[in-house]
């Protein structure tokens, strides 16, 4: 074979390799876009579900609503309060002795 024929074949092989790479990269790009769109849709759905759950929970945050809910279920129930803060002096002595 002459040098021109060899260069011609190398050119066609190079073009074929580039075409295969381009098609492979295009398939990868489309797959990635599809996955990205699917994940974005799932994120939006999850955010909407969280917003609905927060709105539902917000209606139970106030103590009088909880008290009314408990009293409607169990009319004889007493509301029990609790301490919202604990000071260091309230800790048992065993914990203090164990750390020393």
- Render pLDDT for 55-88 as a digit per residue (tens, 0 to 9): 777 766 666 666 666 666 665 655 556 555 656 6
* Domains identified in the chain, total number: 1
Instruction: Please check whether residue 99 lies inside any domain of the structure.
Output: no
In this predicted structure, the answer to whether residue 10 has a pLDDT above a threshold of 90 is: yes
Domain assignment of residue 49, given as a range:
3-72
Do the domain assignments include residue 13? yes
3-state secondary structure (DSSP) of residue 61: coil
pTM summary value: 0.45
Residue 37 lies in a domain: yes
85 within some domain: no
Q: What percent of the chain has pLDDT over 90?
A: 44
Provide the mean pLDDT of the chain. Answer: 79
10 Å CB burial of residue 61 (0-12, 13-18, 19+) is exposed
Residue 16: inside a domain: yes
């Amino acid at each position: 074979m002459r040098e021109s024929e060899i260069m011609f074949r190398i050119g066609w092989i190079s073009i074929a390799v580039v075409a295969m790479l381009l098609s492979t990269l295009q398939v990868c790009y489309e797959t990635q876009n599809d996955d990205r769109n699917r994940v974005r849709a799932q994120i939006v759905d999850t955010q909407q579900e969280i917003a609905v759950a927060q709105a539902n929970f917000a209606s139970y945050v106030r103590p009088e609503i909880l008290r009314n809910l408990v009293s409607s279920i169990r009319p004889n129930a007493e509301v029990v309060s609790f301490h919202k803060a604990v000071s260091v002096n309230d800790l048992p002595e065993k914990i203090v002795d164990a750390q020393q």
